[in-house]
Amino acid sequence: MSRQVRVRVAPSPTGDPHVGTAYIALFNALFAMMHQGVFILRIEDTDQARSRPQYEKAIFDAMHWCGLSWDEGPDVGGPCGPYRQSERKEIYQRHCHQLVERGHAYPCFATAEELEEMRMIARAQGKWVGYNRRDRNLSKEEVQRRVTAGEPHVIRLKVPLEGECSFVDGVRGEVSFQWSEVDDQVLLKSDGMPTYHLANVVDDHLMDISHVIRGEEWISSTPKHLCLYQAFGWEPPQFIHMPLILSPNGQKLSKRKNPTSIFYYRDMGYVPEALMNFLSLMGYTMSTQEEVYSWDAIARDFSLERVGRSSARFDSQKLDWLNQQHLMHDLSHEELWQRIKEWALDDETMKKLMPLVATRITKFSDFIPSVAFLLSGDLTYTDADLAVKGLSPKQVACLLYAFMYALEQEEAWDKDGFDRLSRSTAAQYGVHHRKQVMPLLFTVITGSKKSIPLFASINFLGKDRARARMKNAIDALGGLTQKEERAVQESLCQGTTPAFWEAHTSEKQRGEKSTSSQLRGETPQRYTQKQT
């Protein structure tokens, strides 16, 4: 391999670091080590509405906790910087305008409403759903007139209209797509910011990336990227698409259904060696067929020939077993105690706990029982624990899901957010905040009807564990179907309740709900669903 191996992982700082990021970073790092190459961390923060500095810091912290380090990146520098896409805006704009000048891209003036109308017509006619390319062949004069007039527009890539795109994937071999099934991708948005596709290709070229190792979900985007490489006259990298990680039921991993944050697993007391061991098993089979191994062992063994093609399911029971193996066989008793202290029994943690328990214990032996729920993993709930007077189990599950979804929409996982949104959710569903909602939340979060302050407990647990407990409680109540979850989300945006809520409401409850809402005079809050 004459060309130096240079690989990258490029997470977006729009939320908590995802286990999928660690999964892809792991295999990029292994590949770089295998070839004495360079591993780069790049921050893809072109989504200015959702990107946050604290999320970028969280990426660094999470990757370091996983045992990963990189040769180039925003925090360590390097010869190909800057490594934040938000700092490379002019680079993307310059390259995009080159494509327009060469006839490989064009301004598109279609509005969001017009695009939706195109999709509706295409669906009704049973045709391929995408942009109908109406502005693809506008004259230079017409384009200039509309640009000068200040019409908002994006820049789209001119994708071939016929033939096929074929490329060799490092895992799957030859892959082909019909160009007729590939949309004229937006490259530059109306605000001048690049889309993922343009920024990705430009950065990979300028940073001399030799191999793009990413998730299988990006296979369908590869033709667009190869089209861009050809339009620029650049040599494309080798593409390697890793198998997907799915939830236990075979669906996409979702934070509302499965804990996906790396910090969740850190805070639950998993060791990073076990988590990385587990993630490697999602896409790789050791030549020895063993399942418990160290980072050094897989680094010595690694070969693309043993990367899987089939999606793997995130089996938390397997992760538990692996973690136990690492605790039993990798750590001495002294090291185990040191790790436990670092996990939750250090001075910083105790400083947070003391104000919560100082006035609630009468002797030292009360301390452990009073804080056990804060240091525990998942809680177990009985039907009686989650029973709310006047509500069916389905309604309680609906109420919890609505509250959890509202917290996520506003990213309000703190004391103020819990207080405000629990009140708003209670008002929307016509239930009593103090008598029905608060006791339920106490039980879900603490495992008891009474405990140390609820909101302080939530701050201590953090959103990942708090969300997991709400999700587990919803499951204990019988859960909600995907259709019911979507109905809850839509109803929150509309300030109403979903139809299935009313289907579980008795005539007596309807009368009580109407009366209580009038007495409180509360107005339900509406939520604007995030666009992803």
60-81: buried (b, 16+ CB within 10 Å) or exposed (e) per residue?
bebbebbebebebbbeeebebe
CB 134 within 8 A of CB 125: no
| Three-state helix/strand/coil letters over 473-493 | HHHHCCCCCHHHHHHHHHHHH
β-strand partners of 1: none
Report the C-alpha gap between 105 and 203 in whole angstroms.
18
Report the C-alpha gap between 446 and 373 in whole angstroms.
6
CB 224 within 8 A of CB 439: no
Report the C-alpha gap between 48 and 38 in whole angstroms.
28
Number of H-type helices and E-type strands within the chain: 22, 11
φ, ψ dihedrals at 18, nearest 5°: -90, 145
Instruction: Please give the structure tokens belonging to residue 252.
Output: 């996409």
For 469, other C-beta atoms within 10 Å of its C-beta total 26
Alpha helices in 360-392 (DSSP H): 367-375
Instruction: Please give the structure tokens belonging to residue 452.
Output: 């140390």
Angle at 256 between CA 255 and CA 261, to 5 degrees: 25
Whether 255 is catalytic is yes
User: Which of 158, 255, 257, 463 is labelled catalytic?
Assistant: 255
φ, ψ dihedrals at 474, nearest 5°: -60, -45
* Residue 215 parent element (H or E): strand 211-215
Instruction: Please give the structure tokens belonging to residue 168.
Output: 């060799």
Query: Which residues are known catalytic residues?
Result: 255
